[in-house]
Amino acid sequence: MVAKVARKEPWRYSTAGISIALRVTPRGGRDDVDGIEQLSDGRSVLKVRVRAIADGGEANKAVLVLLAKSLGVPKASVKLLSGATSRLKQVAVDGDPVRLGETLRQLASAKSTD
């Protein structure tokens, strides 16, 4: 029997908002948050898929729009911090960190699977 490991949340709180570690799947068939995943190195990431292709920053734009809509913040409040050409990205979201964290927790728990 395998013991379940408690998942660490893939976001960090700050006074201005929250920063989120993402694993993005471009051309994923739909725009959606797919829950939390543990990477092989032990880090946790929020899995996100978008319909857009990874060409000319289209997938990055789609990710930012999806997160803004899912978290109920303006698009201008969501910024890509790192990972412009990688599936692994860091995104900052400005707003109330407690509300953002609770919303992310609800989104992730509704979708996470083991």
Work out whether strand 44-49 and strand 32-38 pair parallel, antiparallel, or are unpaired.
antiparallel
Per-residue pLDDT of the chain (114 residues; tens, 9 = 90+): 444 444 589 999 999 999 999 999 999 999 999 999 999 999 999 999 999 999 999 999 999 999 999 999 999 999 999 999 999 999 999 999 999 999 999 998 876 554
Residue type, 74: P
- Alpha-helical (H) ranges within 1-114 are 58-71, 97-111
In degrees rounded to 5, what are phi and psi of residue 46? Answer: -90, 120
pTM (2 d.p.): 0.88
In degrees rounded to 5, what are phi and psi of residue 44? Answer: -100, 145
Residue type, 97: P
